């Protein structure tokens, strides 16, 4: 578990000001952690994860397509160099998670081990927001210099830290590249901690720390928190709401999603955008989807790389939608493969959850809720820098848990690293709640 814990701490303690430049490649703290962690996987992965799964192949092919798309657009040499950082963040983070987690108890250990880092990031979220003064990023800037602002893959001077007041509070940065990214990371972990089965102290610390995502003061973060907590509450009420079950709820949501896409102007994105604090932001995001989608359809195979999509001159060059940005940069193949991988993992986890003991079943549902929230919010947020790393960690963890559960269910022998250690048996670990059989 050392590689994934190291990777978490690399972006929970160190902002993007902390970097080393090697051969023109910016090695931020999380990239250094990936490079350090990957050699460990040569030894650890065969013992913990076994053979590669279909999801691994989908993610690998998607990352290979990233390289091919850039080579097609920029030439073999330049395209390979330009794609290196993206693939390192994406596939490297996924591999770290896949090789570090072999079962649900491993995930619980990781949640406990990274808790001090989450509390650290959350603490400065609260302090910076309430004091209206930034602390972490300016401190590291005084040591390492300002972070560089990149536009279209090209450096465009120093990155400015914005001063924005919302709801009487300042939008905090803490250790994160941008407030909304910190909100997505902390808020995305909330349902996992709520459903983790950890003992009271660790559980409350994790929940309160993740709730500090509020101080990013972003409507997207508010949605992350509301959706995560709301779906956990729905799951708790399932014994009372007998006619309702997750498959039925998913079918209803899918039906209304299709209906909104067909009948409403702006479709699902338009509906989500109506929850933004700034009406102008909602309008811009709908236009980004409109013009961005048209550009993707004109360049479906390899995308346009770092070029600017076709749009009115006054519209921002940025794209606030993760899978749309991926399609613009690399074509439709990569986001399609990643989407299929996510669906496979989520369906498998949901199908097998009912066969687990209650504590394990709850944690699996928490994982699925986290992935659902991240997919939902990806329609209005682009996961870059540490947020992209976190997104791929989430997919890697879920994939490892899916494989472990599936192997145990069909009676295949578990990998040596997947055997439950004695200290994790009921009541032995003070941080992990006893597991009770699922009455169903």
- Asked if the structure places residue 82 within a domain, the reply is no
Domain membership of residue 205 as a residue range: 105-151+159-412
Cα separation, 212 vs 128, in Å, equals 11
Q: Is the distance from CB of 134 to CB of 161 less than 8 angstroms?
A: yes
Give me 125's structure tokens: 């979220």
Residues of the chain below pLDDT 70: 42-52, 151-157, 241-280, 409-440
Matching residue, tokens 């998607």: 62
**What are the residues whose beta carbons fall under 8 Å from the beta carbon of 44, sequence distance 6 or more?**
3, 99, 100, 417
List strand residue ranges (DSSP E) for 119-194, in order: 148-151, 154-158, 165-166, 169-170
Backbone angles phi, psi at 99, to 5 degrees: -80, -15
In the chain, count H helices and then E strands: 18, 6
pLDDT at 440: 39
- Asked if the structure places residue 48 within a domain, the reply is no
Cβ burial, residue 220 (10 Å; 0-12/13-18/19+): buried
pLDDT at 202: 92
Q: Is the distance from CB of 159 to CB of 26 less than 8 angstroms?
A: no
Matching residue, tokens 């987690």: 101
pLDDT at 409: 65
- Asked if the structure places residue 87 within a domain, the reply is no
pLDDT at 419: 38
- Asked if the structure places residue 37 within a domain, the reply is no
- Asked if the structure places residue 165 within a domain, the reply is yes
pLDDT at 152: 64
pLDDT at 195: 93
- Asked if the structure places residue 243 within a domain, the reply is yes
Query: Which helix (H) or strand (E) segment is 32 a member of?
Result: helix 29-48
- Asked if the structure places residue 7 within a domain, the reply is no
- Bridge partner residues of 198 (DSSP): 432
Domain count, the chain: 1
pLDDT at 271: 58
pLDDT at 234: 85
Q: Is the distance from CB of 213 to CB of 183 less than 8 angstroms?
A: yes
- Asked if the structure places residue 225 within a domain, the reply is yes
Phi-psi map region of 132: left, alpha, beta (phi>0 left; psi -120 to 50 alpha): left
């Amino acid at each position: 578990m050392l590689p994934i814990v190291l990777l978490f701490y690399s972006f929970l303690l160190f902002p993007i000001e902390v970097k080393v430049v090697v051969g023109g490649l910016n090695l931020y703290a999380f990239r250094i952690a990936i490079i350090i962690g990957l050699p460990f996987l040569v030894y650890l992965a065969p013992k913990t994860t076994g053979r590669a799964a279909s999801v691994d192949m989908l993610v690998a092919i998607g990352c290979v397509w990233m390289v091919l798309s850039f080579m097609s657009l920029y030439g073999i040499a330049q395209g390979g160099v330009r794609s290196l950082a993206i693939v390192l963040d994406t596939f490297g983070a996924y591999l770290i998670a896949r090789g570090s987690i072999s079962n649900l108890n491993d995930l619980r250990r990781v949640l406990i081990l990274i808790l001090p880092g989450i509390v650290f990031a959350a603490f400065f979220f609260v302090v910076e927001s309430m004091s209206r003064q930034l602390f972490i990023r300016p401190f590291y800037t005084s040591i390492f210099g300002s972070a560089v602002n990149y536009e279209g893959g090209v450096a465009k001077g120093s990155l400015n830290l914005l001063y924005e007041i919302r709801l009487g509070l300042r939008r905090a940065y803490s250790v994160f590249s941008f407030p909304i990214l910190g909100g997505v990371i902390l808020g995305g972990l909330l349902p996992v901690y709520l459903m983790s089965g950890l003992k009271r102290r660790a559980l409350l610390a994790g929940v309160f720390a993740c709730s500090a995502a509020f101080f990013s003061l972003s409507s997207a973060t508010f949605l992350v928190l509301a959706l995560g907590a709301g779906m956990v509450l729905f799951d708790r009420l399932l014994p009372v709401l007998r006619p309702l079950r997750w498959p039925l709820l998913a079918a209803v949501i899918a039906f209304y999603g299709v209906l909104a896409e067909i009948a409403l102007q702006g479709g699902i994105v338009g509906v989500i955008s109506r929850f933004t604090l700034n009406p102008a932001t909602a309008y811009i995001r709908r236009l980004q989807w409109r013009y961005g989608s048209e550009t993707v359809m004109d360049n479906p195979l390899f995308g346009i790389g770092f070029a600017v999509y076709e749009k009115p001159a006054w519209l921002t060059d940025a794209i606030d939608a993760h899978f749309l940005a991926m399609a613009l940069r690399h074509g439709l193949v990569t986001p399609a493969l990643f989407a299929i991988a996510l669906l496979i993992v989520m369906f498998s986890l949901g199908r097998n959850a009912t066969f687990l003991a209650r504590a394990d079943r709850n944690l699996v549902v928490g994982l699925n809720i986290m992935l659902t929230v991240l997919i939902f919010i990806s329609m209005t947020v682009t996961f870059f820098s540490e947020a992209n790393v976190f997104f791929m960690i989430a997919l890697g963890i879920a994939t490892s848990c899916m494989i472990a559960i599936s192997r145990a269910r069909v009676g295949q022998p578990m990998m040596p690293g997947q055997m439950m250690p004695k200290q994790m048996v009921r009541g032995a670990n003070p941080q992990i709640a006893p597991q009770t059989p699922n009455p169903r």
